[in-house]
Amino acid sequence: MSSTTSQTEAENLSLRESFRIMFGASRAYWLVNLVNFGDGIAYFGILNLLTLFIHGQMGLSDQMTGVAVSIFTGAVTLFMFFGGFVSDRLGVRKALMISLLFLLLGRVFLTSSPMFDAAGIMLWTSLGLMALGTGVLQPTLYAGAKEFSDPRTSAISYSLIYAIMNFGIMIESYMSPYIREHGGIEAVFWTMAAVNGVVLLAIMLMFTRKVEDRDRVVHIEEKKQEHKTLAEKIKALPILDARFMAFIFVLLPVRTMFAHQWLTMPHYIMRCFPESVGARYEWLQGLNPLIITIAVPLVAALTRKINVIKMMVIGTVISAASTFILAPAPDLTLLILYILVFSIGEAIWSSRFFEYIADLAPAGQVGAYMGLAGIPWFLAKFTTGFYSGFMLEKFIPEQGVQDSGTMWVIYGFIALLSPLGLLLLQNWMVKPLKHES
């Protein structure tokens, strides 16, 4: 079934019929989402507290903590570059198992690192293992969404992947303060490692080769490439697809705001708000995934007939503009309003990003395209950490005069470059895809 045919059929489906097809998806699709849900809990359960753990338990300065977390999150995306090729080569089932195993080892090493004399070596080893595991896992999840779901419901399929991940983040956000209150950050991290282990065991037992072969919608024979010369293979590389590269890079500025959610926001809340607010920091962070969980599938379903790029422009404008809400002095009401508005913007554009990339990718190259789509995400995460620590020390130091509003205004203007770029390129980006003609 071609992308054009699937899109036409999708437009003719009622909203009720679309959801009926989607929720009747195969076991393999829901097993992919089980991994997605579990890793949403484990990955963000650690990431949300990682700067506090490294700064407090490992004794690194603000700047070095920012660099360490930035190297980790940047490495995640760096590994995604080839993680997509690994997924395409090994298949979704094997790639999921391997990535979950690396993640389990990394999370155990991270949590236990303060107990060893070579704590620094343990820390960097754990970050490397977790980055490798996540780098393979993320493109595999979206390859699985395309491989095991009905093409007519692709918009909802990708939105559910994103929403279910955020549902996991929401669950983690509301249980984390209780665990941290009674056992500290290490107890939270051990819980995340245990969740990882349970999901790995479930996939090993339930996601058999028989299930994978039975439930595949994009069949192996469709993914086999005909014999091509070296020049033809090079020409077919995603990195040489001009529209693909322009699309992913134009989103680099707004993606820096996502990096600030774990590089800047924890310290902003802990330093600029009363201790009672900081004690429930994860609850504030949990508002975002709560909204995403509910809004993303609904937005995707209600706007499935609207041009993807148009939705991207609207969503990125809202996400970027939300940052200016934090320009006044720190205020809990404004902070909550910022989270709400930022989340609505994210709900509008985030899942449509993956839909566009999956439609842009030829059959058999979804994993590769998804992996390489992380190039600007890599740059955003990798570079943001190198200046976020400096900005923290300049605008909201632990001791001294604070000026958080100026910091957020600067970040807001940076983020607005993304919708501006999308507006300039939208006519070119909405042209029919090559493999649809």
| Pairwise CA distance, residues 358 & 435, whole Å | 12
The per-residue b/e assignment along 172-196, b for 16 or more CB within 10 angstroms, e otherwise, is bbbbbbebbeeeebbbbbbbbbebb
| Token digits of residue 13 | 């489906």
Q: What are the phi and psi torsion angles at 303 (to 5°)?
A: -115, 15
| Pairwise CA distance, residues 301 & 106, whole Å | 37
CA distances for 408 relative to 161, 246, 371, 380, angstroms: 30, 27, 30, 16
Question: Contact, 144 vs 215, CB < 8 A?
Answer: no
3-state secondary structure of 191: helix
CA distances for 100 relative to 86, 212, 369, 408, angstroms: 14, 17, 21, 36
pTM, entire model: 0.66
Q: Output the CA torsion sign for 280, 281, 287, 293.
A: negative
> In the prediction, which pLDDT does 2 show?
43
Q: How many CB atoms lie within 10 A of CB 3?
A: 19
> In the prediction, which pLDDT does 233 show?
60
> In the prediction, which pLDDT does 1 show?
44
Residues 6+ apart with CB under 8 A from 397: 271
What are the residue ranges in the chain where pLDDT is below 70?
1-25, 149-159, 218-240, 351, 362-368, 370-371, 374-378, 381-382, 430-437
3-state secondary structure of 403: coil
Longest dimension (CA), the chain: 66
Alpha-helical segments (H) within 57-153: 62-90, 92-112, 119-147
Domains and CATH numbers, the chain: 3-221+230-436 (1.20.1250.20)
| Pairwise CA distance, residues 392 & 403, whole Å | 10
